[in-house]
Amino acid sequence: MRHPLNIAVAGLGTVGSGIVRLLAENAKALERRCGRRLNLVAVSARDREKDRGVDLSGVRWFDDPVKMAKSPSVDVVVELIGGANGPALAVVEAAIKAGRPVVTANKALLAHHGTELAMAAERKGVQLAFEAAVAGGIPIIKALREGLAGNKVSRVYGILNGTCNYILTEMRRTGRDFGEVLKEAQDKGYAEADPSFDVDGIDAAHKLAVLSAVAFGSRVNFKAVHVEGIRHISALDIAFADELGFRIKLLGLAARREDGIEQRVHPCLVRLGTPIAHVEGVFNAVVAEGDFVGQAVFQGRGAGQGPTASAVASDLVDIARGVSVPTFSVPAKALDSARAVPMTRHTGAYYIRLMVTDRPGVIADVTAAFRDQKISLESMLQRARDPKEAVPVVLVTHETRESSMRRALAKIAALDTVQEPPRVIRIEEP
Amino acid sequence: MRHPLNIAVAGLGTVGSGIVRLLAENAKALERRCGRRLNLVAVSARDREKDRGVDLSGVRWFDDPVKMAKSPSVDVVVELIGGANGPALAVVEAAIKAGRPVVTANKALLAHHGTELAMAAERKGVQLAFEAAVAGGIPIIKALREGLAGNKVSRVYGILNGTCNYILTEMRRTGRDFGEVLKEAQDKGYAEADPSFDVDGIDAAHKLAVLSAVAFGSRVNFKAVHVEGIRHISALDIAFADELGFRIKLLGLAARREDGIEQRVHPCLVRLGTPIAHVEGVFNAVVAEGDFVGQAVFQGRGAGQGPTASAVASDLVDIARGVSVPTFSVPAKALDSARAVPMTRHTGAYYIRLMVTDRPGVIADVTAAFRDQKISLESMLQRARDPKEAVPVVLVTHETRESSMRRALAKIAALDTVQEPPRVIRIEEP
């Protein structure tokens, strides 16, 4: 039996309380697996008096998490404060500097400082572990960094934000519009009072930047992620997608291409029958494509106390067992600085919905704009006919380049028969 | 840069050739990830002259794989010979005895000798790694042993045999019967000439015994697995299942119960809409349920050269990186000897199809037999009516105990209006 692993937790919100609970409830199982005890020895949070429903007796309280991170009685620091900078960054930097491994669930921190922190940690010979930062309880970081390490990964993508997936699922199930469902999600606690981080795709983009670094062994490049959220998705588009045999999902996608790495977060049409199309509600899923394994799909709860605590615990188990692998799958100083492929060079099929005045020649004008950009159409839907009001026309294209699509759409948007800005959703093939 | 990891491969069939190819094609990526080269230095197979489409120049050939396993020029031995005993066992034992880590894809070997081999390996301080033994390219062993190590696992189950899943999928898609589809699968190379290992559930049972040991930290107990195959599944049952909103899948299930561990392999009705119901063809999927993570689902190719080589490579990467964790998630000498729960104590809902003479009183007799065992019915389907021929009657029960069900069925089978032995398929709820 080796000496216990002494754990300090900074931040006692939902996830922090969760890991405290897990370490207590599963203490015996963890000890069997690690051959040593996992001891919570110190915590730090803003409010010492708050009742968190967990037993902290015998645990040392620190008002200053940075001081805690430097304390010699601590073997590993768990950072659950959140935020890309401020105290979270200070705690992680202090712990690494003091030669202590760090476990964090903080995707914003990693998206902004991941490469530098990994370099610092590896110089000190300590782990920087972050299974909980991406896709909650799904052990996708370990899968990419270790389980699929024999492969050259060509693409990794998934549903990385449970709030958006919940909203899109509810919109489809009930036929209601975005605003109404968002309000309900907020009331239920599935969405924040300020929902922007989730619904505008930023949270998914943070996670994608981390996932992409691990999958491709490249430096974290959050700035290169093309980000669109789900605010403009309407009940009408969800209904049309359904009719065409698709679901609308907010996906984060990273792909290695000849000219660099493409990273993008935006709503996608995914074909019914593909695994990702059937992942509903607050669930997350990640698909990884490797040259030998083919497609592997990982699915589970993407957030919440239990799943996130499970991920934090798996990192603690690794540390207790002495498992140490390169932070982003290759040593930080050897990470590629892969070129970022701009969104204009993206190629794919597109779903376009126009609201047009129903009069002769409209379709001819629209299709001419596509023809001029050498974009060919796969199908067209026009349901209602109404000479007085704008009617929806839905077009699905074959594969084309984003730049050509943008030129065609600029022309179409300028037609006086087109009443609203065209709605465009990219189609993602498996 | 540390010295290269010198690899010896015993067995050059499909998987063996696959790992040779992977080590060559992905040599650079592996070196980046491991900080050292992964060198194939020796191979052994039966026929030296056979063209396997892989380059073995510069690789030492051994006629005797056991001699190879002991060779001082070898750092790790990959066993891909197959079979529970014979040369496979000899090679693994010799390698461990010589203090060399072992990577194997051999589920039969592990199902029969897993605990003892793990003890021997851990005594010597070397890894016994077997990601490729269960669910092909899906890194499920690592997920259970490490990624979900913070959880108490209550249940793990999945589609563990691609051949059976392919046959069941084709039967449903085409409406054809088992024999016909099996023949086709054999012609296509998806099933062996002697299909028994696959279609009678033995292969899935081997994998389940291994999965169960890792999930529950218990000794491998293959003998305790209740095993039924898919030979008796008919096109008629598949059609009825479909009508009732189910798919028929061969599942391997292991669950921790108060009175021990239940392990069983048999066809199941799984509800449409659950992830497992939509896993088709040669794909595998495993669902793990933990107290903190909830349900996590892992899906991918369960067999074949590429996926299996991917899994073998992930173990080699672990070894090259110096990652070493307990073989079955807890040290072998501390594995539980969990009590095996006999199948008669299983509880669940049941699908029963009878072929009955269509005359008054039949249903009364049948339902009386259920009533006498306190089994309540959820639904009943009777499609055709024909006074001359036997007609199918399908019953779905609420949850009951297997022993009660067996008593009721014995009584029903003895009715002279019941023309064939009742067909029973257990219903598995998510």
Give the CATH number of the domain where residue A201 resides.
Answer: 3.30.360.10
Nearest Cα residue to A344 out of A302, A276, A407? A407
Over 60: is that where the pLDDT of B399 sits? yes
The H or E element that residue A308 is part of is helix A305-321
CB-based contacts of B73, cutoff 8 Å, min separation 6: B6, B41, B42, B60
Nearest Cα residue to B11 out of B110, B98, B87, B96? B87
Q: Six-digit token pair at B78?
A: 């990959």
Residue B307 within any structural domain of the chain: no
Confidence of residue B387 (pLDDT cuts 50, 70, 90): confident
Shortest Cα distance, chain A CAs vs residue B151, angstroms: 6
Residue B294: other Cβ atoms inside 10 A: 18
B309–A150 CB contact, under 8 Å: yes
Nearest Cα residue to A215 out of A158, A149, A259? A149
Residue B94 within any structural domain of the chain: yes
Which of B131, B154, B292 has the most A C-beta neighbours within 10 Å, making it the best mutation to test the interface with A? B292
pTM, two decimal places: 0.96
Q: Which of A152, A298, A325 sits opposite B26 (nearest CB)?
A: A152
Shared-domain flag, residues A145 and A25: no
B22–A150 CB contact, under 8 Å: yes
Phi, psi of B103 (to 5 degrees): -120, 130
Query: Which residues of A are known to be catalytic?
Result: 207
Shared-domain flag, residues A102 and A169: no
Instruction: Round to whole Å and give the CA distance between A107 and A205.
Output: 9
Point out which residues pair with B352 in neighbouring strands. B395, B424
What average pLDDT does chain B have?
96
Shared-domain flag, residues A349 and A336: no
- Which of B103, B133, B163 represents a domain boundary (last residue)? B133
Q: Which of A149, A298, A311 sits opposite B314 (nearest CB)?
A: A149
A101-125 CB burial, b ≥16 within 10 A, e <16: bbbbbbbbbbbbbbbebbbbbbebe
Nearest Cα residue to A218 out of A334, A48, A119, A70? A334
- Which of B314, B343, B372 represents a domain boundary (last residue)? B343
Q: Six-digit token pair at A31?
A: 């000890």
Shared-domain flag, residues A189 and A297: yes
Over 60: is that where the pLDDT of B1 sits? no
Round the CA-based radius of gyration of chain B to a whole number and report it: 24
Given B70, B107, B142, B207, the catalytic residue: B207
**Would you say how long chain B is, in residues?**
430
Q: Six-digit token pair at B125?
A: 């301080």
Q: Which residue of B has its CA nearest to A30?
A: B150
Q: Six-digit token pair at B202?
A: 């033995």
Instruction: Round to whole Å and give the CA distance between A113 and A99.
Output: 18
CATH value at residue A417: 3.30.70.260
Shared-domain flag, residues B158 and B255: yes
Q: Which residue of B has its CA nearest to A302?
A: B293
Q: Which of A25, A146, A294 sits opposite B301 (nearest CB)?
A: A294
Tell me the residue ranges of DSSP E strands in A81-177: 102-104, 128-129, 153-159
Q: Decide if B207 is catalytic.
A: yes
Confidence of residue B189 (pLDDT cuts 50, 70, 90): confident
Residue A333: other Cβ atoms inside 10 A: 11
Q: Which of B273, B298, B307 sits opposite A298 (nearest CB)?
A: B298
Shared-domain flag, residues A210 and A238: yes
Q: Which of A149, A317, A318 sits opposite B317 (nearest CB)?
A: A149
Coil, strand or helix: which one is A227? strand
Shared-domain flag, residues A283 and A147: yes
Shared-domain flag, residues A255 and A175: yes
Mean pLDDT to the nearest integer, B110-118:
98
A317–B138 CB contact, under 8 Å: no
pLDDT value of position B49: 87
Shared-domain flag, residues A333 and A282: yes
B148–A314 CB contact, under 8 Å: yes
Q: Six-digit token pair at A362?
A: 């409209």
Taking contacts as CB-CB distances below 8 angstroms, the residues of chain B near A338 are none
B139–A147 CB contact, under 8 Å: yes
CA distances for B30 relative to A329, B226, B314, angstroms: 10, 41, 10
How would you class B252 by CB atoms within 10 Å of its CB: exposed for 0-12, middle for 13-18, buried for 19 or more? buried
Q: Which of B29, B314, B316 sits opposite A147 (nearest CB)?
A: B314
| 3-state per-residue secondary structure call for chain B | CCCCEEEEEECCCHHHHHHHHHHHHCHHHHHHHHCCCEEEEEEECCCCCCCCCCCCCCCEEECCHHHHHHCCCCCEEEECCCCCCHHHHHHHHHHHHCCCCEEECCHHHHHHHHHHHHHHHHHHCCCEECHHHCCCCCCHHHHHHHHCCCCCEEEEEEECCHHHHHHHHHHHHHCCCHHHHHHHHHHHCCCCCCCHHHHCCHHHHHHHHHHHHHHHCECCCHHHCEECCCCCCCHHHHHHHHHHCEEEEEEEEEEEECCEEEEEEEEEEEECCCHHHHCCCCEEEEEEEECCCEEEEEEEECCCHHHHHHHHHHHHHHHHHCCCCCCCCCCHHHCECCCECCHHHCEEEEEEEEEEECCCCHHHHHHHHHHHCCCCEEEEEECCCCCCCEEEEEEEECCEEHHHHHHHHHHHHCCCCECCCCEEEEEECC
Question: CA torsion sign, B6 to B10 to B16 to B21?
Answer: positive
CATH value at residue B25: 3.40.50.720
Shortest Cα distance, chain A CAs vs residue B219, angstroms: 14
Q: Six-digit token pair at B83?
A: 């079979």
Instruction: Round to whole Å and give the CA distance between A171 and A166.
Output: 9
How would you class A273 by CB atoms within 10 Å of its CB: exposed for 0-12, middle for 13-18, buried for 19 or more? exposed
DSSP at A282? T
pLDDT value of position A1: 56
Instruction: Round to whole Å and give the CA distance between A382 and B297.
Output: 39
Question: What is the number of alpha carbons within 13 Å of residue A312 lying toward its C-beta?
Answer: 33
Shared-domain flag, residues A359 and A231: no
Taking contacts as CB-CB distances below 8 angstroms, the residues of chain B near A299 are 275, 296-299
Confidence of residue B330 (pLDDT cuts 50, 70, 90): very high
CA distances for A189 relative to A57, A135, A303, angstroms: 30, 18, 12
Coil, strand or helix: which one is A58? coil
Instruction: Round to whole Å and give the CA distance between B380 and B397.
Output: 9
CA distances for A174 relative to A180, A185, A231, A233, angstroms: 11, 13, 17, 14
pLDDT value of position B312: 98
A309–B152 CB contact, under 8 Å: no
Residue A318 within any structural domain of the chain: no
Q: Are B115 and B220 in contact (CB under 8 A)?
A: yes
Shortest Cα distance, chain A CAs vs residue B347, angstroms: 26
Coil, strand or helix: which one is A340? strand
| Tally of domains in chain B | 3
pLDDT value of position B108: 98
Each residue's pLDDT expressed in tens, for chain A with a length of 430 residues: 589 999 999 999 999 999 999 999 999 999 999 999 999 999 999 988 898 889 999 999 999 999 999 999 999 999 999 999 999 999 999 999 999 999 999 999 999 999 999 999 999 999 999 999 999 999 999 999 999 999 999 999 999 999 999 999 999 999 999 999 999 999 988 888 899 999 999 999 999 999 999 999 999 999 999 999 999 999 999 999 999 999 999 999 999 999 999 999 999 999 998 999 999 999 999 999 999 999 999 999 999 999 999 999 999 999 999 999 999 999 999 999 989 999 999 999 999 999 999 888 899 999 999 999 999 999 999 877 777 889 999 999 999 999 999 999 999 999 999 999 999 999 998 7
Shared-domain flag, residues A56 and A198: no
Shared-domain flag, residues A94 and A174: no
Round the CA-based radius of gyration of chain A to a whole number and report it: 24
Taking contacts as CB-CB distances below 8 angstroms, the residues of chain A near B29 are 151-152, 217
Shortest Cα distance, chain B CAs vs residue A293, angstroms: 4
B150–A26 CB contact, under 8 Å: yes
Taking contacts as CB-CB distances below 8 angstroms, the residues of chain A near B312 are 150
Residue B236 within any structural domain of the chain: yes
Mean pLDDT to the nearest integer, B308-336:
97
Shortest Cα distance, chain A CAs vs residue B252, angstroms: 19
B294–A307 CB contact, under 8 Å: yes
- Which of A81, A98, A133 represents a domain boundary (last residue)? A133
Coil, strand or helix: which one is A40? strand
| Paired sense of beta strands A347-357 and A377-382, if any | unpaired
CA distances for B65 relative to B22, B46, B68, B70, B312, angstroms: 21, 9, 5, 9, 18
Q: Six-digit token pair at B294?
A: 């909830």
pLDDT value of position A60: 97
**Domain that includes residue B171, residue range:** 140-302+329-343
Could you tell me how many CB contacts below 8 A there are between chain A and chain B?
202
A147–B25 CB contact, under 8 Å: no
Q: Are A229 and A308 in contact (CB under 8 A)?
A: no
Q: Six-digit token pair at A229?
A: 């959220």
Taking contacts as CB-CB distances below 8 angstroms, the residues of chain A near B151 are 26, 29, 310, 313
Taking contacts as CB-CB distances below 8 angstroms, the residues of chain B near A5 are none
Taking contacts as CB-CB distances below 8 angstroms, the residues of chain A near B291 are 25-26, 306
Residue B190 within any structural domain of the chain: yes
Residue B387 within any structural domain of the chain: yes
pLDDT value of position B200: 98
Coil, strand or helix: which one is A150? coil
Shortest Cα distance, chain B CAs vs residue A417, angstroms: 43
Instruction: Round to whole Å and give the CA distance between A362 and A96.
Output: 63
Phi, psi of B176 (to 5 degrees): -80, 165
Q: Which of A137, A147, A292 sits opposite B142 (nearest CB)?
A: A147
**CA B333 from chain center: how many Å?**
25
Residue A150 within any structural domain of the chain: yes
Residue B316 within any structural domain of the chain: no
